Amino acid sequence: MKKVLKFVMLFVAVLTITAVFAACTNDTTAPTVPVNIETATGSAETAPATGGTEMENEPVDQAGFRIALVTDYGGVDDGSFNQGAWEGIVAFAEANAISHQFIQPLAESDAEYINAIEMAVNSGAEIIVAPGFLFTTALYVAQGMFPDVNFVLLDASPEDENGNVHVGDNVVTVFYAEEQSGFLAGYAAVMEGYRGLGFMGGMPMPPVTRFGYGFLEGADYAASVLGLNQGDVTVNFTYVMTFAPSPEIAAQAGAWFASGTEVIFAAAGGAGFSVFNAAEAAGASAIGVDIDQAPVSHTIITSALKEISVSVYDILTEHFNGNFPGGQSVIFDASVYGVSLAMDTARFQNFTREQYEAVFARLVSGEIVPTAQSDISISDLNLALVVVNEM
Amino acid sequence: MYVIEMKNITKRFSGIVANDDVSLGLNKGEIHALLGENGAGKSTLMSILFGLYKAEEGSIFKDGKSVVIAGPGHATALGIGMVHQHFKLVHNFTVLENIVLGVETTKHGVLQMKTARQKVTELSQKYALEVDLDKEIRHITVGMQQRVEILKMLYRNNEILIFDEPTAVLTPQEIDALIKTMRNMAAEGKSILFITHKLDEIKQAADRCSVLRKGKMIGTVDVAATSKEELSEMMVGRKLSLTLEKQPSKLGETILQVKNLTQKGDGEKNKLTNISFEVKAGEILCIAGIEGNGQTDLVNAITGLSAVTSGEIFISDTNITTAKIRKRGEHGMAHIPEDRHKHGLILDYNLAYNAILQDYHKQPFQKLGFLQKSKIKQYAQKLVDNFDIRSGDGIDSVVRSMSGGNQQKIILARETSASPKLLIAVQPTRGLDVGAIEYIHKQLLAQRDAGKAILLVSLELEEVMNISDRVLVMYEGEIVANVNPQKITFKELGLYMSGAKRENPSKSVEKAVAV
Amino acid sequence: MNKFLKGNGLSILSSVSVVFAGMLLGFIVLFISNAAQAPAAIATILTFGFSSLRNFGDVLYFATPIIMTGLSVGFAYKTGLFNIGASGQFTFGAFVAIYIVINFDFLNPSLRIFVALLAATLAGAIWAAIPGLLKAYRNVHEVISCIMTNYIGMLLVNYLILNTIFDPMRASSQRIPTSTHMPMWGLDYIFADATRASPLNASIFVAVFSALLMYVILERTTFGYELKACGLNKDAAKYAGINENRSIIFSMMISGALAGLGGGMHFLSAAGRTMSVADVLANEGFMGISVSLLGLNHPIGIIFSGVLIAYLQRGGFNIQPLGFAQEIIEIAIAVIIYFCAFVLLVRTQLGNIIAKIYRTISKSEVKKNAT
């Protein structure tokens, strides 16, 4: 009887091993499996030089794709960079019938971002969009590893672990003139008639700070246009130190509304939802950020936009036209409609589209140049009329 | 024709045969005792009759007609009622509410308690079952709770009444009253099944007796024509000496001294009030009393499981009132705890690990903090051999899988092997079969004769009377009597236990020294 | 053979069979989502981890932190405590380690790593001592207090990062100096391919060593005897003179130390992971529960179940190009892991079946011998 039991054990063991190895060998024979999986092991023999092997897989069958978005840890519905970039890709790809796919990394680390990029490359991607500052180091590595693939890095530059920046010939970095977008928001708020303003930024990071400084300068400019006195317009200015909603933020916003603030510009990602809630409770107003947030709350009078999808669409167009601006840093500002204010869904009573277009034109023409520096303090901004309470 | 007949009942629990081809017939108007040791299958058989279990084989006949009893509700409908060993009462309902629970009379969904009250009052007068209908269950005595259970059956017009070990929680006086009630009910035409393992009660109460042993029906006898010895032989399967051979005690020096011990309770009542006594070497001092009168608290205070409010405890001349549990052990105290599963054993450790539960930190069982497995196994094997502890896998057996008697033997072996000066044994025979009880009693006496002081806490009056040299009776946290078991009757002891009678406590201390 | 089948053999057999059943179910999930690609997807899940040494290194790298939290949960479980606070302890250990390697530049790098890991271990232990103390002296159930310390730990660490080692450019903790990455001990030569090496480092050895240490403590020492006794029966332990309060606190502290060390090691790796300031509990702590249960709370079992779960995750990640939504992948993997939690049930059932077969066989053999 011992033999029988031994046989049972053996059978299970064999079953395990065969299943695993049968599946392994499948890789080389079954066409449905992406061809690329074994390139990692096979590259030692076939690779003419480091990192060059992937191009051999270029004509990928139904499983592959040509445009890829590697998301940061959130999904493509994050209401921010991932979503904007993905919308741009989808719009372009569907218009031109090009295969596209997004890849979500397994974890928030450089190694995993690189793994995700590699996976996209192995699946045939020829241009990869990486949205946001989290990809700086991963892209620094990837641009050298995959010289034949083009990369679009939004809002950041590739840099190594010691902070050395190098933008490869296959990389375009895209920046946005947040200060112009914030300027439009601040200008519109004061022109609309608000005198008590607030700014809640997520964290003191350059893009957020540029939104905030632009907002202050826009308000200041509107005050001078309207001939107000110094102190007529006050702005509460703070960073809530998170991009996630929390009751504390709603409480702080509520306190601001209770003590005279009429409108808060929330440049804080998900934390903005707390501000909108507070505005609803107080019957006050708010200004959204990045994408048009008007559907989120009826308190949102407008949103300070970064046209992420427009920028991605434009760069994809250039890539497929053979004009990829490799090695360059592109700034999307008012002149290319890279930033704007959401006017179609705006809930202004007084501020008109004519007024908006007039000031927008002055930004385009360079007549007005909001401060783009983010490493200075508010006191360096030369605000003439607006009084800022930094908190 | 039988009112109830169970034919060829077989019931198995995961491989163990609890009832093996058991047949039983109950006459109308008789008290039929069901005798057997713990685990003989009495409760299983009755649970099948009450519809709690389903038999795999066999059939049940009511008044000659075959019935399949689907559940307790169905059993009630058939006129079968049961008083369980652990009462099934709702503690924050009144007596009356408990009696009508499940068969309430309602009108348009509103309770009609008036008619119920009338009927219950009649019943309680008819059978002399005195209850206070408006008191909540948690405020009445155990004896009255049992009367409530009986009234519940009567209220439902049950004709067949099952009593599962009804006397375990009662004083001798209450037992007498219960037996009288049972006889009354039988005279009224009710048929009673009476589960017990106490031979005296059978002789007093029952007409016929069926004996179960290891799941098998040994036979049904006429009680009047059968001696106690014959009954016990049927139950155990061999001859037993019902009385213990006992040498007169040779008292030595005082080992345990308790002085004015008081322990505050959660409410206003003390758990223990001003308790003083001594135990000498070579003496078995027994603490008797109805469950819940402070015995457990007293033992916990002496063994260190709980702290005292005031008073002192000495072993020999050492004051151990605030000593740690382990220190008390080092001063010669050993403890066979009341609840062997809760305190005495770690059921998921094996036999060997349980054998060193008190000594694992000592040489040679550990060296530099590492357990010395070979030494532990040697020692455990020695205990197994000396105490004849039986188990499936020897010293590697997980204790949970062992029988109650053998589990208790592990504790006994462990606690006596350290050769303590004082052995505190709390209900050491609870739930054990007759053979195991006999063994434990002999061991206790052997320890006494070896000059140990033994403090025995027991709820079994027979045990109290048989093996102790002196008896203290506890009632509501106080010692109310200090008596010599040879000079007192069961009845008198019962009066002390129920609080109906008490000695002058200060006198009892003097007497303790004198005995 | 019989004994083997009763003990370890049965455990192995039951684990293997649940993994198989889970994979079948996972395959069905994938099949419903995308029938055409499902075979390729399940094949990828099953094979990717072994498809190259670097990929396998990645599997081990991913397994390390969840082995550590798995050991943390398992150790507590063996002593009767349910530590679901591993997440907070992991986070706390991670923060302390990062803080030290960034700020203690008066120490040379290797000494700094050592001090950082020691401090991470201690931080985890201290953080776990809180629920331990509450349980011992105030009888607060450790599950409740662990949940609370998870959140407090996460928020406190966010606050501490913001005020000490915050990198505003990344909204996370600062990068640690490359000199204080965990030593590789040559693993980067083994688990590498032509393009690069896996970030697998010495911490895998620490994890294995921790498992062995846990085994020795629990099975071979009087200390372990006491801890387990308290876990199995608190009252009996007290009766035996064991200080059960002390045991509870020590159990929690050791458990927390394992999680804290895991957090420290994970964030000192060369993978370039920083602690983002977000109101999200560290997932590794909760993965530890699955890992521990799947490994039957046995230290060696935990190592294997940690590797298995990491293997599945890695494989699952790689079927994204086949067009599977991340959610579907997570469901498929969760189904496999969830199924693995049935291992105990299966073990009992399988034990009965084997016992039955065994009985039948011996009966027939007796008959054969008789004839």
> What is the ipTM, given to two decimal places?
0.86
B348 belongs to a structural domain: yes
What's residue A6's pLDDT?
42
Domains of chain A: 64-176 (3.40.50.2300), 178-305+339-390 (3.40.50.2300)
Residue C274 φ/ψ, nearest 5 degrees = -115, 165
* CATH classification for the domain delimited by C38-318, as one of 1.20.58, 1.10.10, 1.10.3470, 2.60.120: 1.10.3470
Probe site for chain C from A66, A82, A100, A115 (most C CB atoms < 10 A): A115
Q: Are residues B139 and B205 in the same domain?
A: yes
Chain B 87-106, CB below 8 Å of chain C: which residues?
A: none
All residues of chain A having their beta carbon less than 8 Å from the beta carbon of residue C170 are 133-134, 136
Q: Are residues B83 and B61 in the same domain?
A: yes
For residue A383, how many C-alpha atoms fall within 13 Å in the half-sphere facing its CB? 28
All residues of chain B having their beta carbon less than 8 Å from the beta carbon of residue C223 are 369
The whole-angstrom distance between B75's CA and the closest CA on chain C is 34
Q: Are residues B475 and B355 in the same domain?
A: no
Q: What is the CA radius of gyration of chain C?
A: 22
B109 belongs to a structural domain: yes
DSSP summary character for residue C224: H
A31-83 confidence digits (pLDDT tens): 333 333 333 333 333 333 333 333 333 333 445 899 999 998 777 877 778 88
Residue type, C244: E
Query: Any CB–CB contact under 8 A between B307 and chain C?
Result: no
Subunits with 3+ C-beta pairs closer than 8 A to C? A, B
Tokens linked to B420: 């303590």
Inter-chain touch B371–C222, beta carbons under 8 Å: yes
Inter-chain touch A34–C175, beta carbons under 8 Å: no
If DSSP codes are grouped into helix, strand and coil, which group holds residue A366? coil
Report angle CA B448, B453, B456 to the nearest 5 degrees: 85
Question: Other CB atoms closer than 10 Å to residue B90's CB: what's the count?
Answer: 12
B133 or B107, which is more confident?
A: B133
Q: What is the pTM of this model?
A: 0.79
Last residue of a domain, one of B210, B236, B262: B236
Q: Do chains B and A touch (3 or more CB pairs under 8 A)?
A: no
B375 belongs to a structural domain: yes
Q: Do chains C and B touch (3 or more CB pairs under 8 A)?
A: yes
What's residue A360's pLDDT?
95
Chain A 201-230, CB below 8 Å of chain C: which residues?
A: 202-206
Residue-wise DSSP of A184-213: HHHHHHHHHT--EEEEEESSS-HHHHHHHH
Residue with tokens 């201390």: B509
Q: In what order do the strands lie in the sheet with B470-475?
A: B333-336, B422-426, B453-457, B284-288, B470-475, B478-483
All residues of chain C having their beta carbon less than 8 Å from the beta carbon of residue A104 are 320, 326
The residues, any chain, with a CB within 8 Å of residue B315's CB and separated by 6 or more, are: B255, B256, B328, B331, B332, B333, B421, B422
Inter-chain touch A243–C278, beta carbons under 8 Å: yes
Mean pLDDT of chain A: 83
Helix axis angle for C109-138 and C142-163, nearest 10°, is: 140
Q: Are residues B196 and B316 in the same domain?
A: no
Q: Are residues B133 and B21 in the same domain?
A: yes
Query: Any CB–CB contact under 8 A between A108 and chain C?
Result: yes
Q: Are residues B54 and B149 in the same domain?
A: yes
Q: Are residues B400 and B427 in the same domain?
A: no
* CATH assignment of the domain containing B446: 3.40.50.300
Probe site for chain C from B339, B346, B356, B407 (most C CB atoms < 10 A): B346
Domain count, chain B: 3
Q: Is A84 left (phi over 0), alpha (psi -120 to 50) or beta?
A: alpha
Mean pLDDT of chain C: 89
C310-340 confidence digits (pLDDT tens): 998 999 999 988 888 888 888 888 887 777 6
Report the range of poorest mean pLDDT among A67-71, B287-291, C180-184, C363-367: C363-367
What is the spatial distance between Cα A303 and Cα A344, in angstroms, rounded to a whole number? 10
Residue with tokens 């390139």: A39
Sign of CA dihedral A326, A331, A335, A336: positive
Q: Are residues B402 and B448 in the same domain?
A: no
pLDDT in 10s for each residue of chain A, 391 residues: 443 344 344 444 434 443 444 344 333 333 333 333 333 333 333 333 333 333 333 333 445 899 999 998 777 877 778 888 999 999 999 999 999 999 999 888 999 999 999 999 999 999 999 998 889 999 999 999 999 999 999 988 999 888 899 999 999 999 999 999 999 999 999 999 999 999 999 888 888 999 999 999 999 999 999 999 999 999 999 999 888 788 889 999 999 999 999 999 999 888 899 999 999 999 999 999 988 889 889 999 999 999 998 999 999 999 999 999 989 999 999 998 899 999 999 999 999 999 999 999 999 999 999 999 888 999 999 899 999 999 8
Q: Are residues B136 and B232 in the same domain?
A: yes
pLDDT-derived band of residue C367, with 50, 70 and 90 as boundaries? Answer: low
**Is C314 within 8 Å of C62 (Cβ atoms)?**
yes
Q: Are residues B348 and B319 in the same domain?
A: no
Q: Containing domain of residue B471, as a range? A: 243-332+420-515
Inter-chain touch C235–B345, beta carbons under 8 Å: no
Inter-chain touch A34–C321, beta carbons under 8 Å: yes
Q: Are residues B428 and B394 in the same domain?
A: no
If DSSP codes are grouped into helix, strand and coil, which group holds residue C167? strand
Query: Any CB–CB contact under 8 A between B367 and chain C?
Result: no
Probe site for chain A from C15, C189, C190, C196 (most A CB atoms < 10 A): C196
C5-27 confidence digits (pLDDT tens): 556 677 777 777 877 888 888 88
Last residue of a domain, one of B386, B419, B452: B419
**Is C251 within 8 Å of C79 (Cβ atoms)?**
yes
Winning range, highest mean pLDDT, from B89-103, B162-176, B222-236, C148-162: C148-162
Inter-chain touch A32–C37, beta carbons under 8 Å: yes
Last residue of a domain, one of B419, B441, B456: B419
Q: How many CB pairs under 8 A join A and C?
A: 167
What is the spatial distance between Cα C289 and Cα C293, in angstroms, rounded to a whole number? 6
Q: Are residues B117 and B184 in the same domain?
A: yes
B225-264 confidence digits (pLDDT tens): 998 888 888 888 877 665 667 788 888 899 999 999 999 8
